[in-house]
A and B are shown apart, each in its own frame.
Chain A
Amino acid sequence: MPASILAFGRYIPPRRIETKTIAAHWKRGSEQAEGLGIIEKSVASPDEDAFTLAWEAALLALETGKIDPKNIGAVFVGSESHPYAVKPTSAMLVTALKLENFCLAADLEFACKAGTEALQIVKAMVESRQIRAGLAIGTDTAQAKPGDALEYSAAAGAAAFVVGMHTIKHPGICTIDRTLSYTTDTPDFWRGTGEKYPTHAGRFTGEPAYFHHVETAARRILEEAKLKPSDIDHVVLHMPNAKFPKQAAKKLGFSDKQMSLGFIVPTIGNTYSACSPIGLTFVLEKAKKGERILLVSYGSGAGSDAFLLTMQQDGVPLSLDEDGTEIKHLSYAEYLQSTKVLA
């Protein structure tokens, strides 16, 4: 019996900077930003970090799913921006979320796929009956060097999933039927210890990195499950920009329609470890019972995690402040202040 996602939540800070604002600051034309397909990206407030974002998302998951925090036996948090190099975000969440202290907590890092790795590990712990339920979180306040192309896309956000075996009380939103990972040593994007900003290898981040891993993992999981692209109702791929996932989807045989629910990068940007997980939350709100979901993340360095999920009920809308909260658009100076460049 596969484990299920019993509840989910997300948090996207209500502050944005438009990519045209960034381009204008650097006195550039809009072609590069338009080429990336990102209109605006989310920006954390100066008093937010990957821990606070994770807390917001996890709290929403627990409350929406009416999950007793004391039933959580493990917390895994994937991020590229853990507030501490040594002092785990996951441990802070055990206290902040009032979880059971006899709880395994661990932080993960694998670039943009650390959040989906958390989902894989929690699924395994549930299915092996080590825990009744666990929290898998992807969270990031993504860093980008001012003036670099990454500045247009690196964003802030978190997604959290409560994973457990479905019961009558917690029927489960979707089963996580199958998952696999594909991993190589590919130096496309990295951040050395002590460095503030990541370095990337330009065009090398495309074919040998993102496309190779996403396509390989996607094809393999479909092959193992004996499914065709047309058997999938919703597809969520990692979204470093708007162009890459669309190109990958086309090569894999998926349509824009299959991609539409989870395709959130144009107005949020790339939230790194939270990117494809946040995309999944949008799908889980609207997908219908019986529909199949393919999720493929990508983490530089490099690897992809692929998941096949099946909806066990119609989607669960989140009661978020998103609909009511006014989005504040920042100037470039406000953005720099928020991302602590000026600190």
Chain B
Amino acid sequence: MRETVYVLGGGQTRFGELWEASLADLIREAVDRAIENTEILPTDIDAVVIGNMLGGETAGQAHLGTLVSGCLPHHPPALRVEAACASGGLAVHTACALLESDKAETILVVGAEKLTDVPGETVTSALMHAADAEKDSPSGLTFPGIFALTATAYMHAYGISRENLSLVSACSHRAAVSNPFAQFRRELPPEAVSKSPLVADPLRLLDCSPISDGAAAIILSTKRESPVRIAASQLASERLSLSDRPSLTSFGSTRSAFDRALAEASWQRNDIDCIELHDCFSTATLIHLEDLGYCEEGEAIRLYCQKDTDSNGSLPVNPSGGLKACGHPIGATGVKQILDCYKQLTGQAPNQVRNAIRALAHNVGGVGATCVVHLLESIA
């Protein structure tokens, strides 16, 4: 990083089926909490970046940068970014770029999504905007279907059993029990995952992150200091359609973004104490861990079998509960990941990883078409 970008803190709404709240309500709540938690003045904010994918389709609201800017008394310059499910991470990355280029000194970054006011079929259809409209959509695929193709290939290639796969979601739910912002706060036995209704073979309902509403906001600054800095911020892209990829069981964008982030921060991967990972689907979680280089291909399941991924394990993954248990309001997820890493690094996380000094936030859009990686460090 060319400048030291500090994470001053942030706030979020609960994630879930928030029928009483509109998209604007969610944004306002997250922004209010972020400002309250960081003790800055609203007028200290020089710019706003918001990540959101489906505001137009599900809430009739685009032009969201201006909407957020209007929450502040001085209407700072604002913009919206979109990269499907990586919209939140991209918002953070964009803010870092603005800070590093001295276009602003203190930036409010928001991620928000409102999905539950429209029928499930509408959301499913809109989410396909994250795939290739000419190559993927005409085949009748939905996003669970696309990831089911990767899951079929992965489970076949590496002999992953249904019973073992269910450990992934069970781990996330176990972690979320103590998270007051999580959509689901009950433990889930692996057997329940295995028996849940089939969504897209082999993926069952409880292999899939849910449809959720929610918003998160963080404040980044080069002017004000805090105990947490962003050590690296990297964005990588891959071909949009799965049909154009060399592999169904590896996403090059994760490999690329993470390698560059490690180089930027001058870290080794084993320097990282906890990971907020993009667990949109259980099999994708395993693929991501292998793409991040934490295990050989086909071996990530062992981390779950051995409970290494629990918050007191050797490689804590999603101690917040991840997308699966916290919920996945598309644009909010990437920002919430940074907030959860901040909480880990400042000892404030409900499911605290002991002695967490370095954290990784991994946010993916589409079927690994976009990957945004942030590395955060406690410098206290």
Interface residues of A (CB under 8 A from B): 29, 31-32, 35, 199, 201-204, 207-208
Given contacts A201-B119, A202-B119, A202-B120, contact A208 B198 (CB under 8 A): no
CB neighbours (8 Å) of A199 from chain B are: 119
Known pairs A32-B197, A203-B116 / 8 extra A-B pairs, C-beta < 8 Å: A29-B197, A31-B196, A31-B198, A202-B119, A202-B120, A203-B17, A204-B17, A204-B19
**Ordered nearest first, which 8 A-B pairs have the shortest CB separation?**
A31-B197, A208-B19, A202-B120, A29-B198, A202-B119, A32-B197, A203-B17, A204-B19
Shortest CB-to-CB span from B211 to chain A, Å, is: 9
Residue pair A204, B197 in contact (C-beta under 8 Å): no
CB neighbours (8 Å) of B119 from chain A are: 199, 201-202
Closest B residue by C-beta to A201: B119
Closest A residue by C-beta to B205: A31
Closest A residue by C-beta to B211: A203
CB neighbours (8 Å) of A203 from chain B are: 17, 116
Q: How far is the CA of A197 from the CA of B195 in the complex (A)?
A: 31
Q: How far is the CA of A201 from the CA of B195 in the complex (A)?
A: 25
**Chain A binding surface SS class:** helix
CB neighbours (8 Å) of B17 from chain A are: 203-204, 207
CB neighbours (8 Å) of A201 from chain B are: 119
CB neighbours (8 Å) of B116 from chain A are: 203-204
Q: What are 19 A-B contacts with C-beta separation under 8 Å?
A: A29-B197, A29-B198, A31-B195, A31-B196, A31-B197, A31-B198, A32-B197, A35-B197, A199-B119, A201-B119, A202-B119, A202-B120, A203-B17, A203-B116, A204-B17, A204-B19, A204-B116, A207-B17, A208-B19
CB neighbours (8 Å) of B195 from chain A are: 31
Residues 96-136 of chain B, each 1 if its beta carbon lies under 8 Å from chain A, else 0:
00000000000000000000100110000000000000000
Shortest CB-to-CB span from B124 to chain A, Å, is: 11
CB neighbours (8 Å) of A208 from chain B are: 19
Residues 244-283 of chain B, each 1 if its beta carbon lies under 8 Å from chain A, else 0:
0000000000000000000000000000000000000000
Q: How far is the CA of A207 from the CA of B19 in the complex (A)?
A: 10
Q: How far is the CA of A31 from the CA of B194 in the complex (A)?
A: 12
CB neighbours (8 Å) of B198 from chain A are: 29, 31
CB neighbours (8 Å) of B196 from chain A are: 31
Shortest CB-to-CB span from B249 to chain A, Å, is: 26
Q: How far is the CA of A303 from the CA of B195 in the complex (A)?
A: 35
Closest A residue by C-beta to B120: A202
Q: How far is the CA of A204 from the CA of B195 in the complex (A)?
A: 24
Shortest CB-to-CB span from A2 to chain B, Å, is: 38
CB neighbours (8 Å) of A207 from chain B are: 17
Closest A residue by C-beta to B198: A29
Shortest CB-to-CB span from B105 to chain A, Å, is: 43
Closest A residue by C-beta to B20: A208
Closest B residue by C-beta to A202: B120
Shortest CB-to-CB span from B252 to chain A, Å, is: 35
Q: How far is the CA of A203 from the CA of B183 in the complex (A)?
A: 14
Q: How far is the CA of A29 from the CA of B198 in the complex (A)?
A: 7
CB neighbours (8 Å) of A202 from chain B are: 119-120
Closest B residue by C-beta to A29: B198
CB neighbours (8 Å) of A35 from chain B are: 197
Closest B residue by C-beta to A209: B19
CB neighbours (8 Å) of A29 from chain B are: 197-198
CB neighbours (8 Å) of B19 from chain A are: 204, 208
Shortest CB-to-CB span from B251 to chain A, Å, is: 30
Q: How far is the CA of A285 from the CA of B12 in the complex (A)?
A: 55
Q: How far is the CA of A208 from the CA of B196 in the complex (A)?
A: 25
Shortest CB-to-CB span from A22 to chain B, Å, is: 15
Shortest CB-to-CB span from A207 to chain B, Å, is: 8
Shortest CB-to-CB span from A241 to chain B, Å, is: 15
Q: How far is the CA of A208 from the CA of B20 in the complex (A)?
A: 9
Residues 13-36 of chain B, each 1 if its beta carbon lies under 8 Å from chain A, else 0:
000010100000000000000000
Shortest CB-to-CB span from B122 to chain A, Å, is: 10
Closest B residue by C-beta to A31: B197
Q: How far is the CA of A29 from the CA of B199 in the complex (A)?
A: 10
Shortest CB-to-CB span from A216 to chain B, Å, is: 16
Shortest CB-to-CB span from A258 to chain B, Å, is: 27
Q: How far is the CA of A204 from the CA of B118 in the complex (A)?
A: 10
Q: How far is the CA of A201 from the CA of B17 in the complex (A)?
A: 12
Q: How far is the CA of A29 from the CA of B195 in the complex (A)?
A: 11
Shortest CB-to-CB span from B76 to chain A, Å, is: 36
Residues 197-237 of chain B, each 1 if its beta carbon lies under 8 Å from chain A, else 0:
11000000000000000000000000000000000000000
Q: How far is the CA of A29 from the CA of B196 in the complex (A)?
A: 10
Q: Which of A199, A202, A203 has the most CB of B within 10 A?
A: A202
Q: How far is the CA of A32 from the CA of B205 in the complex (A)?
A: 11
CB neighbours (8 Å) of A32 from chain B are: 197
CB neighbours (8 Å) of A31 from chain B are: 195-198
Q: How far is the CA of A208 from the CA of B21 in the complex (A)?
A: 13
CB neighbours (8 Å) of B197 from chain A are: 29, 31-32, 35
Shortest CB-to-CB span from A40 to chain B, Å, is: 20
Shortest CB-to-CB span from A153 to chain B, Å, is: 16
Shortest CB-to-CB span from A29 to chain B, Å, is: 6
Q: How far is the CA of A35 from the CA of B204 in the complex (A)?
A: 14
Q: How far is the CA of A31 from the CA of B201 in the complex (A)?
A: 14
Shortest CB-to-CB span from B197 to chain A, Å, is: 4
Shortest CB-to-CB span from A82 to chain B, Å, is: 27
Q: How far is the CA of A207 from the CA of B16 in the complex (A)?
A: 13
Q: Which of B116, B195, B196, B197 has the most CB of A within 10 A?
A: B197
Shortest CB-to-CB span from B140 to chain A, Å, is: 15
Shortest CB-to-CB span from B217 to chain A, Å, is: 26
Q: How far is the CA of A31 from the CA of B197 in the complex (A)?
A: 5
Shortest CB-to-CB span from A185 to chain B, Å, is: 14
CB neighbours (8 Å) of A204 from chain B are: 17, 19, 116
Closest B residue by C-beta to A200: B119
Q: How far is the CA of A202 from the CA of B120 in the complex (A)?
A: 7
Q: How far is the CA of A98 from the CA of B250 in the complex (A)?
A: 76
Q: How far is the CA of A315 from the CA of B19 in the complex (A)?
A: 44
Shortest CB-to-CB span from B208 to chain A, Å, is: 14
Q: How far is the CA of A202 from the CA of B117 in the complex (A)?
A: 10
Q: How far is the CA of A31 from the CA of B19 in the complex (A)?
A: 27
Shortest CB-to-CB span from B21 to chain A, Å, is: 12
Q: How far is the CA of A198 from the CA of B373 in the complex (A)?
A: 45
Closest A residue by C-beta to B123: A202
Shortest CB-to-CB span from B183 to chain A, Å, is: 12
Shortest CB-to-CB span from B166 to chain A, Å, is: 15
Q: How far is the CA of A201 from the CA of B116 in the complex (A)?
A: 9
Q: How far is the CA of A208 from the CA of B117 in the complex (A)?
A: 12
Residues facing A in B69-85 (CB within 8 A) are: none
